[in-house]
Chains A and B, each alone.
Chain A
Amino acid sequence: MTINRTTGLSPLKARGDMLMDEPLIFERSSEGRPGVLPAAPDVPAVDARKFIPEKMLRDAIGGFPQVSEIDVVRHYTRLSQWNFGVDTGFYPLGSCTMKYNPKINEAAARLSGFSMLHPYAPEETAQGALQLMYELQEYLADISGMDAVTLQPSAGAHGELCGLLMIAAYFKGIGAMRHKIIIPDTAHGTNPASAHLAGFKVVPVKSEANGVLSAAAVEAAMDDDTAALMLTNPNTIGLFERNIKKIAAIVHKKGGLVYCDGANMNALMGLVKLGEIGVDVVQFNLHKTFSTPHGGGGPGSGPVGVKKSLEPLLPVPRIKKSGKKYSFAYDRPDSIGRMKAFYGNFSIMVRAYAYMRRMGKDGLKRASEIAILNANYIRERLKGHYQLAYDTPCMHESVFSDKLQQSNGVTTLDVAKRLIDYGYHPPTIYFPLVVHGSIMIEPTETETKETLDRFIDAMKAIAQEAKTSPELLKNAPASTRVGRVDETRAAREPILRWKPKTGI
C-alpha cells in the first residue's frame, strides 16, 4: 500500500464509506413500514387465540425494527465496510491462522443437498453427508496420526472440553480417577478454563528460558494423581516442543495421558503426526488449519482425535460404514455422551473437506512448509527493529516485543494501532503472557512475498516513527471511522442493548 507522504496515512482515509455514519437498525425504524412479509396462508388462516390460550400470548414487541428491505441491505452493507477481514487485507493475527478462505468452499456449503438436509432425515436420504463426514474423520485421523476422530465439538474450546472429559472418563473407567492436569505457562487461557470445567485442578509448569518445555520440569510435576499433560505444539511462542517424545514417555510411564491443543497444526501437516510422538488426544480447529472462515467470531469446528484406548469414550453418535452404506451408531455404553445436539457444525465440515480434497496430501504438506517459511521470513527481516522474544527459527509464527520501543514511551498497543493506519490488521498482542508486551505474528502460507515485504516495510517505518514522532503512534489509528475506544467507560457504565427513548 502506498503511504500518503503528507498525512502519513493510507488512502483508506479517503474512502467516505468507511467514515459515513450509520445509526442502529432500531433508529432507522419507522412505524408501519413493512419488511419482507411472509406468504399469505394457503391453509385456512385462523386466529391463534383459537388454539392458544390468550394468557400465553404476547403483545407486539415494543421497539422492534420496522424497516424495508433496502434499509436492511444498506445498513448491513455499511456495517460490513467498517470491518477488516482476510479478504480486505493482510491479517497476521498470531495463533488464529487467518489464511485465505476459498470461495469454492462457500459455494459447496450452500448446495441445497447439504444446507437443506434435516439432521433427523432418514439415513438413507443422507448418505452423501454421512460419507463426507466419514471421510473427513479419516483425513483428520491420518494427518494427526490418531486412531479415531469425532467431528461433534463446535469450536476449539469445545473440543478441549470434549477431550478432557474423555480423559476423566478414561481414568474413571479403569477405576483410578486422577484429578490434576499439567499445563505449561505458555498455554492459551482456554486450556485451564477447559480443564477446570472438566473437573480437574490445574498445575502450571514453567517453560525454559529457551521457550520450550523441559523433560525435567514435567518429570518434577508429574505424579500418579495427574491425569494428563495438556500442551500446545508448536507452542504459542511458535516453537516446536522438541522434547515431546521424552516428555510423553515420562507422562505415560506414570500412567498419564498427553493432550495436545491442535491450535497450531498449520505448522505440522504432512510433517509431524502427533499420534506418532506420544500424543493421546488432540483437538483440531477447522477454522484455522483447514481454511474455514472465522465468521467474525465463529462458527468454527473443533473435532477431536484419540488413540485406540480412548475410542469407546468418543461422543455419540459415531458414524459407521458397512459396505457402501453409512449410518449412525448410538449404542456406545462407554461414551461420554454429547457435546451438543445433532452431529457438529456440518457446513463447516463441508468447507474443510473441500479444502482438503483440493489441496491433496502434497498440498497440505506444502501449506505447512510455506507457512513456516513465511513466518521465518518475517522474523528474520524484523529482527533488530523489534525485540525477538526468542532468537531461534520459528514454526508458523514468531513473537516479538516492544522492548526496543519502550525508551520512546511507545507500547505494543501503539504499534498495533499504527499498523491499522498502514492498512493491516494488527498481530495478536499481549499474548502469550510469558513475553512482556508480546507481538505475535502469524502470516500463514497464503500470503505472497510482496505482501510480507510491504508489511515488513510498514513495521520498520513504524519502528522509525516510534523514535521520531511517537505521537503518531499514540494517536493511531487516525484512518478509521472511530478512534481509540473508551473500554473503561464501557465497563463502568454498561450499555449492552439499545432501548427506545420512552419506556418499552
Chain B
Amino acid sequence: MEFPKDLKYTKEHEWVKLEGNVVVVGITDYAQDSLGDVVYVELPQEGVGVTKNESFGVVESVKAVSDLYSPVSGSVAEVNDAIVDNPEVINEDPYGDAWMIKVELSNAGELDDLMNADDYQKFIEEEK
C-alpha cells in the first residue's frame, strides 16, 4: 500500500495536496482497499462551501456507504466529474486520476492539523 510523502492525511482517510492556495482532496489507498469495488460517488457542486470535518460527499461500494469528510474549510473550486461516471478509478488510481475536489482554503492554519505520511501509516496500523 502506498502513501506518497508529498501528501497530508486525515483520520477519516482522506488525502490532501497543497497547490498554492488550493488543496486537492481524495481518499487514500487504504480507504479504497477497505471499501472494495467503488460503484458510486457523490460530490458537491462547484462553488459551495465545505467545512473541516464535515461531510462533502459520499462514496459507495456494493455493500458499504462512507461519508467523505472535508480535511479543510473553504469553497469548492473544482470537482472531478470524471470519477462520477467512472467510480472504478477510485480503486485504480486513488492519488492520481481519482482526486475528488479542489478547495480554495479559507483558513490555511487547518493544514497543520493533518498527518504526514509516516504518521498516517502508523495510525492505520493501530486502527487495524
Contact = CB atoms under 8 A, between A and B. Distances in A.
B80 to A, nearest CB: 17
A488 B40 CA distance: 10
Contact of A487 (B40, B62, B88): B62
B87 interface: yes
Contacts of B63: 487
B31 interface: no
A242 to B, nearest CB: 33
Interface string A476-495: 00000000000110111000
Contacts of B36: 488
Interface residues of A, number: 5
A491 B87 CA distance: 11
Contacts of B37: 488, 492
Interface in A447-504: 487-488, 490-492
Interface string B50-88: 000000000011110000000000000000000000011
Contacts of A488: 36-37, 39, 61-62
Nearest to A493: B39
Interface in B9-66: 36-37, 39-40, 60-63
B28 to A, nearest CB: 20
B40 to A, nearest CB: 7
Q: Which of B60, B62, B88 has the most CB of A within 10 A?
A: B62
A491 B61 CA distance: 9
Nearest to A491: B39
Contacts of B39: 488, 491-492
B82 to A, nearest CB: 15
A490 B40 CA distance: 12
A437 to B, nearest CB: 13
Contacts of A491: 39-40, 60, 62
Nearest to B91: A488
Nearest to B40: A491
A492 B60 CA distance: 11
A233 B88 CA distance: 42
Contacts of B62: 487-488, 490-491
A492 B39 CA distance: 5
Nearest to A487: B62
A398 B63 CA distance: 24
A488 B91 CA distance: 12
Contacts of A492: 37, 39, 87-88
A488 B63 CA distance: 9
Contacts of A490: 62
A490 B37 CA distance: 12
Nearest to A490: B62
Nearest to B60: A491
A155 B88 CA distance: 37
A488 B88 CA distance: 10
Contacts of B61: 488
A488 B90 CA distance: 14
A487 B36 CA distance: 12
A318 B128 CA distance: 54
Interface in B74-124: 87-88
A423 to B, nearest CB: 26
A488 B36 CA distance: 9
A487 B39 CA distance: 10
A52 B88 CA distance: 51
B87 to A, nearest CB: 7
Contacts of A487: 62-63
A253 to B, nearest CB: 36
A488 B61 CA distance: 8
A490 B62 CA distance: 9
Nearest to A492: B39
B64 to A, nearest CB: 11
A488 B37 CA distance: 7
Interface in A405-424: none
A492 B41 CA distance: 11
A321 B89 CA distance: 65
B127 to A, nearest CB: 14
B42 to A, nearest CB: 14
A487 B62 CA distance: 7
Q: Which of B39, B60, B87, B88 has the most CB of A within 10 A?
A: B39
A488 B87 CA distance: 11
A487 B63 CA distance: 9
Nearest to A430: B63
A437 B87 CA distance: 27
A487 B88 CA distance: 14
A488 B35 CA distance: 12
Contacts of B88: 492
Nearest to B88: A492
B92 to A, nearest CB: 13
A487 B60 CA distance: 13
B38 to A, nearest CB: 9
A32 B22 CA distance: 65
A490 B39 CA distance: 9
A261 B85 CA distance: 41
16 contacts: A487-B62, A487-B63, A488-B36, A488-B37, A488-B39, A488-B61, A488-B62, A490-B62, A491-B39, A491-B40, A491-B60, A491-B62, A492-B37, A492-B39, A492-B87, A492-B88
Interface of A: 487-488, 490-492
Given A491-B39, A491-B40, 8 more contacts: A487-B63, A488-B37, A491-B60, A491-B62, A492-B37, A492-B39, A492-B87, A492-B88
Query: Which 7 residue pairs across A and B have the least CB separation, nearest first?
Result: A491-B39, A488-B37, A487-B62, A492-B39, A491-B62, A488-B62, A488-B39
